[in-house]
Structure 1
Amino acid sequence: METSFGSLYPAPAVLAGYLADKGITAHQLDLNERFAEFLLSPPVLAAMGAGEVPGVPADSLGAAAARLCTRYRDRLISAEGRHHFGAGSEFGYLLEILAQPYSLDPDETVLGPLPPGSGLGRAYLDFYAWADVVGGIDDDVLMVGISVPMGPQLFPALVLAAHLKSARPHLRCVLGGPALSLMDDGDLERLLRSHPAVDCVVRFDGEQPLLALVEGLRAGAWSPETVPGVTCLSGGELCQVRPGAGPNLNTLPPPKYSRSALGRLANPTMSITQARGCYWGKCDYCDFVELYDGSPPFRGRHPGNFVDEVEFLVGEFGIERFNFVTESIPPAFARRMSSLLIERGIKITWNSFAMVDRRFDRELLFLMKEAGCEFLVIGMETMVTRVLKLVHKSADREENIRFLRDARDAGMRLQVNLIPDLPSTTYEEAMSALADVEKLSDCIDGISVFPFEATRSSNVGRNPADFGLLPAGGGQASGQSQYALNHFDNTDPAMTPEQRAEVHRRYRDYAHRVNARSTADPGEPRDIGRDTPVRLVQEKLDVLDTGDRLVCTHLGTRERVTVPAAFSRALEPYLDGAWFTRAVLSDRLGEERSAALIRNLTASRMLALSGPTAEGGGCHE
């Protein structure tokens, strides 16, 4: 997952810890982190920067990111091999851009046979060969489990299974993770029939099914059709055994993280499970409440047990930064857990998903901040009370406003998720909600905008008429759910297509302005005086000379400026960051054209001034 570079995905460590407690050794390969290393290898950066990677032309954002990563590679991977692209990394965001061309939100074509050695399949095979995945698996290993958390991981997982099976035919390949748990039964059958390298699929909780499969193999038997929670083909027929109840989270042993993998991370964030399922569990558009069939819809940790594990992991690994794995942290748990961290003197920083809930009062937010909460990711979605009630969110507009202000006063950083077109939202409602949020910008650290996409496994997808949606056919999924196979095609008559496009654009423009505050130099760009010294912001600027123009890309803000040849010749002496003035450019371009060039570069935050007292405004160093 491109947003998880610099941290370790927790599921393999949790499963390895569970199996180790049962006397079974499990080795972990973090291919996500290895993929980051692959993307940053000099040959891959050179090919992408030169426009030689399919779908990444030389003047694209991806190619610009590759060229910038080439300049700053030592700041991303040190000479000792330490990864500096996790939390707090100055250039880690570039990796997300590099990974995007390799991401595929699979539609139903992935359920059929993989085209041999072409396109993305060839790219992933190149990666697996580069990483020597086969060589990293001991000869005595009997089974390989591949975790597929989100839709874009499904295609590379299938390529990996085929790659492993071709090299080690005796290996049993098992797929699991949320993407498989959410898959329609018919789609799952098609996948198993088309991909014989996949021996079976584990859905929902993985601990007990994996234990049963491994114990069977150790006894010389392979009978997945008898294991609860497993789907496979048996005798040419689909065999799907309903899952039993998952484990009590308070009885699980600590996760078994790989020390060598942790040692590669300069500033590692360790994940720790707080709950499975959602304590609220009522949001009609969400399907992650469907992930634990056979078990209660919500299983939470006791605060004391949870803090015990935090304390153990701090002592065992020296880690001080944690991500709490939960759909939404419950307020009562947060209160007791924060108090215990403070009482025990455990000094960590942590982050979590949360929802706006009146029980996250001012006192609790201050307490969480004191206990080390670095930031919360908030699924606020909208400010329209009518729509919030329709989809059964906990909060309304007034509660959202109260929460944002209290979090700001507590010094709590918030990453806010917005869905501007939840079912039945009108254009006027969407724009009114945006105006509300804009007035509270000082309460928000970052914004993510997700155009609404109905999924078949959610209540909205099962009962669309209740939410004003009309089933449709032949439309295209937006991919926002990162799982196109689960898309429910529909139309929402509350907005015209033109209104919806305008809403999405306005919300994304706002998110861009908010998010750019942390990547761009401060200050609103203004007119720069004729004799004010300026320079191009080299640190995050890529300049591509195509022969007839310069393509300037600010990788921090993702703003782009194209400079025609007549202008580029005048700018050429200063591409290395040398200081110049508008007056100097005027000698070659004339007053009007030099002013236009400076104005465009300033608006895109590509210029730095010589100091905060310089004439005019713009982007100070």
Structure 2
Amino acid sequence: MTTSREASVWLLLPPLIETNFGNPYPSTAVLSSFLEQNGVATAQDDLNEDFALFLLEPQLLTKLAGGEFEGVSADSHPAACARWALRYRADLFDEQGRHYFNSKHSQNNAALVGLARPFLIDPDREAIENVDTAPIAEVYRTFYDRVDLAGRWPDGTRLVGISVPMGPELIPALILAELLKKIQPDVRIVLGGPTISLMEPEDIEHLLSSNPAVDCVVRFDGEFPLLELSRQVLDEHWQPGTSAGVSSHVGAKVKHTPPGVGPNLNVLPPPIYPENILGRLVDPLVPISQARGCYWGKCDYCDFVELFDGSPAFRGRHVVGFVDEIAHHIAVNNARRFAFITESLPPAFARRACQLIVDRGMDIAWHSFVMVDRRFDSELLELMVRSGCDHLVIGMETMTTRVLKLVHKSADREENIRFLKEAKQAGIRLNVNLIPNLPSTTYDEAMRSLEDVQALSDGIERIAVFPFEVTKSSGVGRAPDQFGLQVQNGMDEKGIFQYGLNHVAISDPAMTDNERAEVFRRFREFAAEVNSRSTSAFDEHLPDSTSVLRIAIKNMDIRVLNGDLACTHIKTQRTFRLGRSLAAILRPYLDGGRFTLAELRQRIGTDSADVLVKSLQRARVLELASMPSGDELAERVHSRV
């Protein structure tokens, strides 16, 4: 691959953000538009999307599928996803080769997320000191060789900015910096993003000392520091230690220059999503930034409010400018699907913005993250639906009022119940996040919380269950004893967010280990039940005996093992095994062949046939042949425009 691009600054997004495949990430687009507005020519590349293509290379898929890749067994979920991808790889692209990777294409997205799991690297001190000690580091070197960094290099590039929003990107970013420096030894390389902003100063010093290819890092807001660094490079007067928010070597020591005030969001130009990024995606979600920081900003377990030191804790956008940006992307990028980027969408802003979208007759679909807030009343929720709200992600966490108040959440149990009921009535699809073991939660409290959510689950489309994690940069991490937690020094424990550098190992005496394990088992079983609903084309009543049925083979990885059928549902990750007798009964239908309940009853008897069909329904692997597949149904629900 060769390039004829010209740019002074090359902005790169490295792997791995597996949840963002098929969509553009906003960081490089926002920085590019700001630099361009100030006279600095830029180019962008999304290497994270390139990594999705790397995962789909047949040679790698074959190794994963057969359990021949280190750390991946043949009966693991990533191996099942690899076998599925080998069969259906062509379905992940349209006739122009554009990507059906994002969550609108839910089956494809689930398979890619599963494929990516073995390649996530939790960065720790040892890996930062020597990136090649990190597991699978060599895989990333192979990947970067495949994408031909030298051939992509824009003409005239003097500075490379590498955006590192997520922890699993850090080691791939450091490997990338090393390789770029080998190609162009005199180029300046700058790292920035939330992963860097949440690092302790001593960890940044360790990073810079161990990775000489990185010239400096930017913490917190990146626009002004990166513009200043770009001008220094272009003026051939490189002094990063003078730039606010920059950490760099000054002599033998690392200097951390305090951050300045970040930009006014209301004067930033619309992000630039170039053709080489947006043009290869089918119906992507275009991010629209609503705010930096959180309008509530009080939850003690959250550290996202720490990302913009030097600026006000919350900076929001004006409604008119926000909606104008949506209109810009409709006109320029033919976009119709949007993600409103914010830690939590403020109710007053939502009311004004949604009304303006309705008044302008904008035909869009959008989603955002919200917290339960009494100001999201039924009238506002209905207005949000009329404006194109596709779904909301809700950080509900628990239904236990005592614990919610302890960690300073806005809502209590009664408010959570009210919100769930009124959102259902308004027709808003909800993705609910739960943390069953927030600090000091007892076993009985967790079980009562589960019962509350179960009673209201008919209004919930998806549930994500997370174990509580203490981060150094959160209020709980700074004073764990105030929340009933005990620090466990010397424990080698990794967090669920794949960012061990920011993790604090704690114990919570409110539950025993066995109680905690049982809580998560029950919560995850419930989540799997809720999440599998959208994967079935009909409910669990026994179908009419003349209804034409089929096995939902496109949702499954099915292997024959010693005469049994080993089955894995790609989206729900449920696994089950059918013995030889049942396998023999179903084998004629494993190529998508159709059958009726009456035919099955004739083959194996009424009682056996009915039990088998009910079992297949519960596993979400049976569908009506006269209806769209479960995945097609899910995509129709998502296709609001």
TM-score normalised per structure 1: 0.92
Question: For residue 438 of structure 2, what is the aligned residue in structure 1?
Answer: 422
Can you list the C-alpha shifts for 1:342-388, whole angstroms capped at 9, x where unaligned?
22222221111111111111111111111111111111111111111
Q: Distance in 2 between matches of 1:522 and 1:557?
A: 17
SS state of the match for residue 368, structure 2?
strand
Change (3 A) 1:337 1:532: closer
Question: For residue 302 of structure 1, what is the aligned residue in structure 2?
Answer: 318
- Does 2:531 correspond to 1:515? yes
- Does 2:325 correspond to 1:326? no
- Does 2:561 correspond to 1:551? no
Q: Map residues 475-494 of structure 1 onto 2, 5 A cutoff.
A: 475-494=491-510
Question: For residue 389 of structure 1, what is the aligned residue in structure 2?
Answer: 405
Question: For residue 503 of structure 1, what is the aligned residue in structure 2?
Answer: 519
Amino acid at match of 1:105: D
The structure whose RCO (Cα within 8 Å, separation 6+) is larger is: 2
- Does 2:256 correspond to 1:248? no
**Residue 602 (structure 1) shift:** 5.0
SS state of the match for residue 558, structure 2?
strand
Aligned partner (choices 576, 593, 597) of residue 561 of structure 1 = 576
8 A contact 1:353–1:378 mirrored in 2: yes
Query: Where in structure 2 are there 5+ consecutive unaligned residues?
Result: 1-16, 628-641
Can you list the C-alpha shifts for 1:14-49, whole angstroms capped at 9, x where unaligned?
000000001111100011111112212333323322
- Does 2:154 correspond to 1:105? no
SS state of the match for residue 576, structure 2?
strand
**Residue 110 (structure 1) shift:** 2.1
Q: Distance in 1 between matches of 2:497 and 2:406?
A: 20
Q: Distance in 2 between matches of 1:209 and 1:446?
A: 40
- Does 2:273 correspond to 1:236? no
Change (3 A) 1:356 1:168: same
**Residue 553 (structure 1) shift:** 1.6
Question: For residue 351 of structure 1, what is the aligned residue in structure 2?
Answer: 367
Q: Distance in 2 between matches of 1:532 and 1:367?
A: 40
Q: Distance in 1 between matches of 2:78 and 2:434?
A: 26
Question: For residue 450 of structure 1, what is the aligned residue in structure 2?
Answer: 466
Amino acid at match of 1:174: V
- Does 2:170 correspond to 1:126? no
Q: Aligned residues, how many?
A: 610
RMSD: 2.6
More divergent stretch after superposition (432-441 vs 465-474): 465-474
- Does 2:142 correspond to 1:165? no
Can you list the C-alpha shifts for 1:319-343, whole angstroms capped at 9, x where unaligned?
1111111100111111111111122
Query: Where in structure 1 are there 5+ consecutive unaligned residues?
Result: 613-621
SS state of the match for residue 414, structure 1?
strand
Question: For residue 541 of structure 1, what is the aligned residue in structure 2?
Answer: 556
8 A contact 1:59–1:544 mirrored in 2: no
Change (3 A) 1:570 1:244: same
More divergent stretch after superposition (483-492 vs 591-600): 591-600
Question: For residue 94 of structure 1, what is the aligned residue in structure 2?
Answer: 111
Question: For residue 148 of structure 1, what is the aligned residue in structure 2?
Answer: 164
- Does 2:193 correspond to 1:177? yes
Q: Distance in 1 between matches of 2:471 and 2:198?
A: 10
8 A contact 1:561–1:600 mirrored in 2: no
SS state of the match for residue 359, structure 1?
coil
8 A contact 1:274–1:324 mirrored in 2: yes
Can you list the C-alpha shifts for 1:155-207, whole angstroms capped at 9, x where unaligned?
21111111211222122111111011001111111111111111111000000
Question: For residue 605 of structure 1, what is the aligned residue in structure 2?
Answer: 620
Q: Distance in 1 between matches of 2:93 and 2:352?
A: 39
Amino acid at match of 1:163: L
TM-score normalised per structure 2: 0.89
Amino acid at match of 1:281: G
SS state of the match for residue 432, structure 2?
strand
Question: For residue 617 of structure 1, what is the aligned residue in structure 2?
Answer: none
Question: For residue 70 of structure 1, what is the aligned residue in structure 2?
Answer: 86
More divergent stretch after superposition (368-377 vs 283-292): 368-377
Identity of aligned residues (%): 51
**Residue 572 (structure 1) shift:** 4.2
SS state of the match for residue 445, structure 2?
helix
Q: Distance in 1 between matches of 2:564 and 2:248?
A: 57
Amino acid at match of 1:93: A
Can you list the C-alpha shifts for 1:208-244, whole angstroms capped at 9, x where unaligned?
1101111001011221111110011221201100010
Amino acid at match of 1:429: E
Can you list the C-alpha shifts for 1:434-465, whole angstroms capped at 9, x where unaligned?
10111111221111111101111111011111
Q: Distance in 2 between matches of 1:610 and 1:89?
A: 20
8 A contact 2:305–2:313 mirrored in 1: yes
